[in-house]
Amino acid sequence: MKLTKEQAQEIKDQQSQQNKTKRVTAPELEKILYEAIPVLDHGFVRVVDYMGDDTSIVQSARVSYGKGTKKVSTDSGLIKYLMRHWHTTPFEMCEIKYHVKLPIFIARQWIRHRTANVNEYSARYSILDKEFYLPSPDNLAAQSKSNRQGRGEVLEGNQAKEVLDLLKNDAEKTYKDYEMMLNERFDGTTIDENKKGLARELARMNLTLNTYTQWYWKTDLLNLMNFLRLRADDHAQYEIRAYADTMLDTLKKWVPTTYEAFMDYRVGGTEVSAKGKLIIQKLIKGENVNSEDSGLSKREWNELMIAFGLKDKLI
């Protein structure tokens, strides 16, 4: 990840501010506020603002007057109770705002989470940066044979090199054409003074989806956890998972008690259907249970067995 001198100076100026507030703050999050945390080859995540902390959740749940009306251990118990029983509205009282730099194809996947306020870099107004995402060899994989939206075996040798060369050359060519259509280079200089540049809103359509864009993404704590539960999962696409993992670390710094409950009940826990619950109860009693008589599909059966570590019963 590369920052321009102007960007680095702006972050330095933001971090050097000394503002006093009567509102609650998260000390660990304050330490990384405004910092550009690298993601992928040119991307980053920055926390630029937030509101509330763990005590804000407790306060809104109790509708109390202020912080510190109960012991920390009691607050922790309440947050776990709220998480465990899906009492979600108190988590909506906290909000956070991120500045994210990411490839366009990941942004289009990310925007499907329609529970945030988003303002994206305008390619109608400004020229996009000359930066493209290129997968590392470890993440350059073939289409999975069993999952239509996943990856299979890693490409190797000449095939991997050929694919990476195509991705790089296509991105560079389309960006060069983009500059030619604009009649303006990335640095702002004119290419041919005798030509008119095409409108930026039209020239941008020729760019590849691995071109980087940026946006400000603001959401409440509940919807952030919903996003992270899906995108920090092992089944999520690697590139968006890289961003989610970074944001998961900021969640831990912001609301550590909520983070612990989230990892326990949402990430590490599992949901069981009524039929699945009955099967587990029978297995505990030592009764013989098979998939044919369970009322579950093959996929449901295998997911249940994996969730409880019963891999010897997979079909």
Within 10 A of 235 (CB to CB), how many other CB atoms are there? 10
As a whole number of angstroms, the distance between CA 231 and CA 225 comes to 10
What pLDDT digit, counting tens, does each position of 15-30 carry? 998 888 989 999 999 9
- Mean pLDDT calculated for residue range 38-49: 97
Chain-centre distance for alpha carbon 191: 38
Question: How much is the pTM?
Answer: 0.91
Q: What is the DSSP string of 187-220?
A: TS-BS-TTSPPPPHHHHGGGS-TTBEEEEEEEEE
Q: Give the DSSP letter of residue 66.
A: S
Active-site annotation, residues: 231
Can you list the alpha helix ranges (DSSP code H) found in the chain?
5-15, 27-32, 54-62, 72-84, 104-110, 157-182, 200-203, 221-231, 238-254, 256-262, 274-284, 298-307
pLDDT of 161-212, one tens digit each? 999 999 999 999 999 999 999 999 888 899 999 999 999 999 999 999 999 9
- To the nearest whole percent, how much of the chain has pLDDT over 70? 97
Residue 231 contacts residue 266 (beta carbons within 8 Å): no
Nearest partner of 59 among 32, 94, 95, 30, judged by Cα? 94
